[in-house]
Structure 1
Amino acid sequence: MEDLLINVDKEKRTNIINSAMKEFSKNTFEKASTNVIVENAGISKGLLFHYFGTKANLYRYLEYFSIKIITEEIVEKLDWNQRDIFLRIKEISMIKFKIMQKYPYLADFSLRVFQGKTVEEIMHINPNFPLELYSQIYNYNIDYSLFKDAIDVKKAIDIIRWTIEKYGDEFRISIKNGSVEFDYKVIEKEIYVYIDMLKACFYKEY
């Protein structure tokens, strides 16, 4: 599956992936148009089918790619020595933002495709999914002693994650609507506002 676009130059590959994700995220598989995909990607229909053979193969490639790009980027770039859960979650969010900047329809496509799927179903799509390592991104080497004694740490971490992820969702929508521009300094600054508020609630010392 990974080899389907291996010989295509990076810019063209990105254009194909983004165009196809956009179309499949807006429509069901049956209604998604390969004509729209090739028009937005700037390639011929013949070339699209030369790469993938069928519309179904294109869709399966996008499923595989969606899992691969998120998991590999996080697993490879995450600072596993960072023990502060707030900074760990911030770092994961920033990695995701950088991926979303390159692939703006990845989140919408992934939501449509993977919502409600079990781990076993995801593993079937991508047998190389690093489940054991990826499942530890929010807990490996984290210093839980920083939390106040009366705090339910698991619930606190859920609240931190949900807050930052919700901010990310709203920012992504604003980007798509054209109301804001992609600025990492602004994103990081605003995330730190939430971090400061939540640290004051959950940490012993701040």
Structure 2
Amino acid sequence: MNEKFFTLSPEKQARITNAALEVFARNDYKHASTDDIAAKAGISKGLLFYYFRNKQSLYLYLYDYALEQVRGQVLRQKLDGVTDFFELMHIGARAKLELLTRCPYLLEFSIRAFYSRGEAVSDAVQARLNGDLTGSFAQYFSNIDFSKFRPGVDPAQLLRMLTWMTEGYMNEKQRAGVPVRLEDILADYSGWEEMFRKIAYKEEYL
């Protein structure tokens, strides 16, 4: 992408970003129209492609933007002194879900990106997703007491499984047209956490 995009005023950057999130959230990658994005942002299509080399460049910028929004939301939480894996997971889940329920297009875009398959952008998205899961584990779980886990249990795989379950849950709600309520998701998420805790932790930590 063209770095001149970041010299725009925050208001104009937000207008372009939000327009693109809306169009990509409502359509699969192939049918998301850059004409619609430009019109919603109040700029010409030529200017849109001046800032972003092509449609894929714009999409991957949105992916990185969504990830940074989520990371920022999580990092604003009080995580000092949290050494329990599942406690940290719950704090992070609440923070991310609060953001996503406040920003529905960010939620819908994130779900579409997570499930992107067979599209022009899919390979690049999946590569980013795999790297993000690995990077997130190293960053957020550095203070966790892993001695609580039973031998042979892989905490990184638990992170992936809980992520997949949450994304699948939200995708199912979206496809069914059911409103995504934060407290409902967290109630179900707590049940999954408890199930995995019993499987993963040594008896003395249950």
- Of 20, 24, 35, which aligns to 1:21? 24
Please state how far the C-alpha of 1:175 moved relative to its aligned partner.
3.2
- Of 42, 49, 53, which aligns to 2:50? 53
* Percent identity (aligned): 15
Q: Which residue of 1 aligns with 2:142?
A: 140
- Of 8, 11, 16, which aligns to 2:11? 8
Q: Is the contact between residue 93 and residue 165 of structure 1 (CA under 8 Å) also seen in structure 2?
A: no
Alpha-carbon RMSD across the aligned residues, in angstroms, is 3.6
- Of 182, 189, 196, which aligns to 1:198? 196
Please state how far the C-alpha of 1:69 moved relative to its aligned partner.
2.4
Describe the superposition over 1:161-182 as per-residue Cα deviations: whole angstroms up to 9, x where unpaired.
2332232122221332244322
Task: Report the secondary structure of 2:11's partner residue.
Answer: coil
Q: Is the contact between residue 86 and residue 195 of structure 1 (CA under 8 Å) also seen in structure 2?
A: yes
Q: Is the contact between residue 35 and residue 45 of structure 1 (CA under 8 Å) also seen in structure 2?
A: no
Distance 2:176 2:7 in 1: 33
Q: Which residue of 1 aligns with 2:109?
A: 105
Q: Which residue of 1 aligns with 2:119?
A: none
Please state how far the C-alpha of 1:141 moved relative to its aligned partner.
1.0
Q: Which residue of 2 aligns with 1:77?
A: 77
The alignment's TM-score, normalised by the length of structure 2, stands at: 0.68
Give the unaligned 5+ runs of structure 1.
Answer: 123-128
Distance 1:138 1:195 in 2: 17
Please state how far the C-alpha of 1:27 moved relative to its aligned partner.
2.2
Give the unaligned 5+ runs of structure 2.
Answer: 117-121
Please state how far the C-alpha of 1:65 moved relative to its aligned partner.
1.8
Describe the superposition over 1:163-206 as per-residue Cα deviations: whole angstroms up to 9, x where unpaired.
32232122221332244322221111111111222222222232
Paired letter, 1:53: Y
2:126 counterpart of 1:115: yes
The alignment's TM-score, normalised by the length of structure 1, stands at: 0.68
Distance 2:159 2:70 in 1: 17
- Runs ≥4 in structure 1, deviation > 6 angstroms? none
Paired letter, 1:114: V
**Which deviates the most, 100-109 or 58-67?**
58-67
Q: Is the contact between residue 21 and residue 62 of structure 1 (CA under 8 Å) also seen in structure 2?
A: no
Q: Which residue of 1 aligns with 2:173?
A: 175
Paired letter, 1:18: L
Distance 1:89 1:36 in 2: 38
